[in-house]
Amino acid sequence: MKTASIRAIHLAAIASLMFVAGAVAGPLAFAPVLVEDYVAVIDTGTATVVTTIDVGSNPFGVGVAPDGSGVWITNEISRTASLIDSATLTEVAEVPVGNDPSGVAVLSGAPFAYVSNFDDDTVSVINTLTRTVVATVPVGNKPFGVAAHPSGDTVYVTNSDVSGTVSVIRTSDNTVIDTISVSFLPMGLAVHPDGTSVYVGSQFGGGISVIDTTTNTVVDTINTGTDLVGLVVHPDGDRLYVTDRAQEKVIVINTATNAVVDTYDVPLAYGIDITPDGATLYVTNFTGSGGSMTAIDAATGTDRTVIDVGGAPTGIGRFILPFASPDTDADGIADNLDNCTLRANTDQRDTNADGFGNVCDGDLNNDCIVNVADLGLMKSVFFFADDDADLDGDGVVNVSDLGLMKDGFFRPPGPSGIPNDCD
């Protein structure tokens, strides 16, 4: 049942989304903002913040589901992992895990997310369908970064103490099948798109360890950088991008030769991801206040846009959706931002602020179904001006509005891709 209080709550949320109307959204990026306890959502098509989503306390790591259905966020102080629905941009679950959860990765082809618990020396395995922890895997000391092999068969976890190891978890039975020695204090890691290599960044000059996934052995060490935290491989597989927080750079490496080919200056570079088309890098600028994210041309390091997201954005892991949200009605507004996904309405007109655009909201009595009661209300204002009953917004209630109402007869209003009073 709709209520006036719910409509009032959603008014602010709808207003925060309206500024993107008319722009085709690119894939969304999700940046955990540590000191604000929210996730900033960025439209990579326009390099603007779409909205923020409240999660647990001290959000840190992030893992996007390979199918784009959801985004997992680790919350350090809450000791939980939050699930964000990527269509509605809302937190739909908060799952208790271990102490000081850090990294998270979601499997491809199987409903499981793996969360490293820094203070417990374990990894929690979450069933993403039931949203419960189904296994706890002991690993090395201070597990931090987590990355899944494209096959979904194995998960790699950095153990970020001075001994420097990576644990390899077999996902079929959640058993550690290998412990690989790498450079000391390993932090972030990334898997090559073809699954042949894992790249592990270390702190204090440890460089980048290159692991052959067939043998689970280190086959090369790239001696570069001093504080390597975030890593991502270009979708084409030819370049590796690594953030160096201490030197405030993104290091570009040719994956065929394992040689550094370029560096991009980026203040306080921390987390990093790349858009699915390989065109743009997004880098979180980790600072205690006034934090930001920088969008950079991946090929040249130029064409920069700095996006204000709030204090201390982190983003360890993959944080950009693998594709743009669809725009079913082709009105230039992505479905997950559109208050009427099946009928074009570029103005997003919603006179009763219920989360449904007027053109698909013949539910005039707000009972979440369009029926004869709504028809009676429309007839009572026929040929008059009435904001709510004027579905097409032409200033008068007439036969065109009646036609729009009849199209939705005996169905709920909408559908809408944003929070609404019938959710």
Asked whether the beta carbons of 2 and 354 are under 8 A apart, the reply is yes
pLDDT at 25: 59
d(CA 57, CA 34): 8
pTM of the shown model: 0.78
**Cα→Cα distances 42→61, 149, 288, Å:** 16, 26, 20
Report the half-sphere exposure of 239 (CA within 13 A, side-chain side): 19
Cα angle for residues 76, 185, 239 (degrees, 5° grid): 95
- The mean pLDDT of 139-157, rounded to a whole number, is 97
- Low-confidence winner among 2-6, 290-294, 400-404 (lowest mean pLDDT): 2-6
Q: Provide the residue type at 364 as one letter.
A: L
Res 337 pLDDT > 90:
no
Percentage helix, strand, coil for the chain under 3-state DSSP, each rounded to 5: 10, 40, 50
| Helical spans, DSSP H, in 27-76 | none
- In this prediction, residue 109 carries a pLDDT of 87
Identity of residue 344: A
Whether residue 116 is predicted with pLDDT greater than 90 in this model: the reply is: yes
pLDDT, one tens digit per residue, over 31-64 is 999 999 999 999 998 999 999 999 999 999 999 9
Domains assigned to the chain: 1-25+325-423 (1.10.1330.10), 31-308 (2.130.10.10)
**What's the rounded mean pLDDT across residues 153-159?**
98
Residue 214 CA: distances (Å) to CA of 131, 154, 306, 322? 32, 11, 40, 26
> DSSP class of residue 326?
P
Distance (Å, whole) CA 120 – CA 97: 10
Nearest CA-CA partner of 180 in 169, 191, 190, 192: 169
Tell me: pLDDT of 6 over 50: no
Locate tokens 């850090």: which residue? 102
250, containing H or E segment: strand 249-254
Q: What region does 245 belong to: left with phi over 0, alpha with psi -120 to 50, or beta? A: alpha
Pairwise pLDDT comparison (67 vs 308), residue with the higher score: 308
Instruction: Quote the strand ranges of 12-163, DSSP E.
Output: 28-33, 38-43, 48-54, 59-64, 70-75, 80-85, 90-96, 101-106, 112-117, 122-127, 132-138, 143-148, 154-159
Cβ neighbors of 384 (< 8 A, separation 6 or more) are 396, 397
Concatenating the DSSP letter of every residue in 160-213 gives -STT-EEEEEETTTTEEEEEEE-SSSEEEEEE-TTSSEEEEEEBTT--EEEEET
What confidence score (pLDDT) does residue 14 get?
Answer: 36
Tell me, what amino acid is at 399? Answer: V
- Mean pLDDT of the residues in the chain: 91
> Which residues fall within 8 angstroms of residue 345, CB to CB, at 6 or more apart?
329, 331, 338, 339, 357, 358, 359, 360
Query: Does residue 372 surpass a pLDDT of 50?
Result: yes
pLDDT (tens digit per residue) in 287-327: 766 689 999 999 999 988 999 998 899 999 999 999 776 77
Who contacts 81 (Cβ-Cβ below 8 Å, separation ≥6)?
Answer: 72, 73, 74, 75, 94, 95, 97, 101, 104, 113, 115, 124, 126
